[in-house]
Structures are given as C-alpha cells and as structure tokens.
C-alpha cells in the first residue's frame, strides 16, 4: 500500500486587515495604577497623531486562566476610554498577562472622532509602553 499524504490545507488565521485609508501612529504610554484592587490603570498616551494622544483609563479587568484565578491568569481584557480635548475613543484591550504584558487595543471614536477607529499594539516595560498602530475609517 502506498504511503498516504495529507492533502489538508491550513487556513490562515485572519489578522486585522489594515484599511487602505489608514494613518500609521506610534508613541508611548506612561501608566499609573491608582486602584490596585479594582485593577484600574490610567495612562497618558503621547502619540505621533494628536487625535489619539490623551488620557486612557482601563477598567473592569476580566482575567482568564486555567482556574479563572488571578494568580493563574493567562489573558486579561479591559474596557478602555481614551479622551482628549477633541473627543473620546471607547473600546477594549486584551493582553497576555506575563512579566512583560503585550497586547492590542481596538477603540471606536466619538465626538470629533465619530466614524474613526484606532487600533494599536503595545508591550509594557519598566519605562512605560511602546505603542504602534493605525487610525482608519470605521467602514
């Protein structure tokens, strides 16, 4: 009997498509944690585009792990609000909870930013977080 071959083709995982109308942004976040029990973070984003610079508050953390216990957290998710003088962005952040948390945020614009979306990826270090992402139309 001839050897069998695997004819199954892997389907690629869908990453966020970066729309053609996107504007790339980079920057940093400096965060404080005023409410350790509630897992609240307040971050100052200093970005290359002023539309996404401002104060971001991450709250309502939810931890997921082997035992749904904070000590065994593998991934966390938080509700985020980024505000500045022109408008507000709302959405969620998800990240791996390890010694250097890295993750992504997806925020939708309100006010002057209505109709826009802001996506960014980050990694925290002892000096803050480095952010890389894009602003695009929400269509």
Q: For residues 100 and 122, is the Cβ–Cβ distance under 8 A?
A: no
Cα–Cα distance for residue pair 35/74, rounded to 1 Å: 21
pLDDT (tens place) for every residue of the chain, 139 residues total: 444 444 545 555 556 678 888 999 999 999 887 766 657 889 999 999 999 999 999 887 777 766 555 555 567 788 999 999 999 999 998 888 666 778 899 999 999 999 999 999 998 777 778 999 999 997 6
Domains plus CATH for the chain?
24-137 (2.40.350)
Please enumerate in sequence order all residues whose Cβ is within 8 A of that of 3, keeping only pairs 6 or more positions apart, or say none. Answer: none
pLDDT attached to residue 71: 55
* Total-model pTM: 0.79
Q: Which residue has the tokens 């984003």?
A: 45
pLDDT attached to residue 6: 44
Residue 121's alpha-carbon distances to 32, 38, 108, 131, in angstroms, are 19, 23, 15, 6
């Amino acid at each position: 009997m001839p050897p069998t071959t695997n004819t199954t083709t892997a389907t690629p995982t869908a990453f966020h498509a970066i729309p053609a109308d996107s504007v790339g942004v980079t920057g940093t976040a400096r965060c404080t944690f005023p409410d350790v029990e509630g897992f609240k973070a307040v971050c100052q984003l200093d970005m290359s585009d002023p539309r996404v610079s401002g104060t971001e508050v991450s709250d309502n953390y939810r931890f997921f792990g082997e035992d749904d216990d904070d000590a065994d957290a593998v991934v966390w998710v938080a509700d985020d609000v980024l505000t500045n003088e022109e408008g507000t962005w709302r959405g969620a952040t998800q990240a791996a909870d390890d010694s250097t948390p890295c993750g992504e945020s997806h925020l939708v614009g309100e006010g002057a930013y209505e109709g826009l979306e802001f996506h960014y990826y980050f990694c925290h270090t002892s000096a803050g977080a480095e952010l890389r992402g894009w602003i695009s139309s929400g269509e």
